[in-house]
Structure formats: C-alpha cells, structure tokens
Amino acid sequence: MTEAELQALSGRLKPLPRHVGIIMDGNGRYATRRGLPRSMGHRAGTERLRGIIRLSSDLGIEALSLYAFSTENWKRPKPEVDTLFSIFMEYFIKEVDALHKNNVAIRAMGDIEALPEKVCRECLAAMEKTGSNTGLKLNIGLNYGGRAETLHAVKSIAGDIISGKLNIEDIDEGSMMQRLYTSGLPDVDLVIRTGGEKRLSNFMLLQSAYAELIFTDTLWPDFSDECYIAALEEFAHRNRRYGGLEGK
C-alpha cells in the first residue's frame, strides 16, 4: 500500500480503536476442512499474524492483543499443546528481528513461567529486545486467562497492603488496572473473535469492559487484511456511549 493509500484508508477508518484484542479461533477447522492435521491450521494462523500486525502498525493503532494460548488450552491433547509451544518458539525466533525493525514492542500477557523453559526464554528475550520500542504495543496472551490475571492483581495488592506499602483507601480503579498485564495501555476498544463462536472465553475481561465486540464466522487463517479493515470500518460506525446518553 502506498503512503497516499494508507492515508486515505486511515481517514476512512476514523475513529480508529486505540487498542484491539483478537481471539484467533478456527485454526483447527481450517485444517480439518482441508484434510490436514490441526497443526497445519495453527501454522496457517501464525502466517496471518504478519499482515494483521503490519496493518495495525501502519494505521497507528497503539496496541494489539492476541489470544494465543489460554489457561484452558492445557486441556487439549498433549501433542497439540506441544505443537503450539513449538510454533510460539519458532515465531519468536523467526519474527522478532522484523518486528523490532518495525518498532513493535512485544509483551507477554500471562503466566509464562509455567510454559516450557525454552518457550519462556524466547519470549523473555523478545520482550527484552523490543521492550523499549515506541511503535505498536503487541501483547501476546500466553497461558493467559482474565480471571487468573485478576487473581494475580488481587494478590499483588494484598501483598502491598500486608507489607504496609499500600492503604486500602488508596486502592482505586486506576491502581487496580495498573496491576494487570496491560499496565500503562489504554482499555481495549474493539474485540474481534473469528471462528463463529460468540463469547469472550476469559479474554481481557476487565480491559474489555466497554469494548465493542465483533464476531465473524471467518476462520482465523482466512481472516485477511480486508476482513480486518471491514471490522475496523464497522467499529468506526458504532455509537459508543459508555453508559451515558447520546450527544450528552
């Protein structure tokens, strides 16, 4: 896309969400429908990340949060879980330099210490390398669950109260949100879920309190740049009132 085309596109998509969250569902079905093993669907889904990240970054979206592995995904058969871990590791090894060049800052959301050591190490290395970049904030949900995240925040607050660093009266919504993995980032404005299901599945529950929700039947590996643009366009036309009244 030329600079002029990009300008025209971002003009058409105003207001853009500051923070987009994506529940990337449908990899398994994408593969099964083609008579392929599910792992091929996850690989095809990983290929789609490049375009979506690029477009988010080019349009000037501040943050993109991706649900890659939930706290519930451990229930899948071990070979599939192991394949996903290999894919994450390969992704960090292969893509980090390009993301770094594009000024993308990677952050893991979730309890990554519970992941296999090699995956955790690559993830930490990616965060270390790109952490001070000033472009798109790319949050990757790995062993992530909204309830586990909330529990983590509650424990951290309780610890600070016990040690005398914090008074109960000083806890407010802002200080609570700062204890989440997305500390310092704006709330999620738009959640997109591919793959036909219409639920949040424990994804960014507090950050998405006022998010617009877009559910599409398109399977994640088929979710093209054009599909993403159409979702952003739909978002631009939504009427957000945050509990207030129109025009007030």
| Interface positions with ligand FPP (CB under 6 A) | 24-29, 42, 45-46, 66, 68, 73, 87-88, 91, 140, 195, 220
User: Shortest approach of ligand FPP to residue 84 CB, angstroms?
Assistant: 6
User: Shortest approach of ligand FPP to residue 121 CB, angstroms?
Assistant: 15
Output 59 or 140, the one with its CB closest to ligand FPP.
140
> What does the angle CA 199 – CA 200 – CA 205 come to, to the nearest 5 degrees?
150
Output 58 or 95, the one with its CB closest to ligand FPP.
95
Structural tokens at position 60: 């000037």
User: Torsions phi, psi of 56, nearest 5?
Assistant: -60, -45
Does residue 62 contact residue 185 with C-beta atoms inside 8 Å?
yes
Output 58 or 85, the one with its CB closest to ligand FPP.
85
Of 192, 186, 206, whose CA–CA distance to 235 is shortest?
192
User: Shortest approach of ligand FPP to residue 102 CB, angstroms?
Assistant: 16
Output 33 or 155, the one with its CB closest to ligand FPP.
33
The residues annotated with a catalytic role in the active site are 25, 73
User: Shortest approach of ligand FPP to residue 27 CB, angstroms?
Assistant: 4
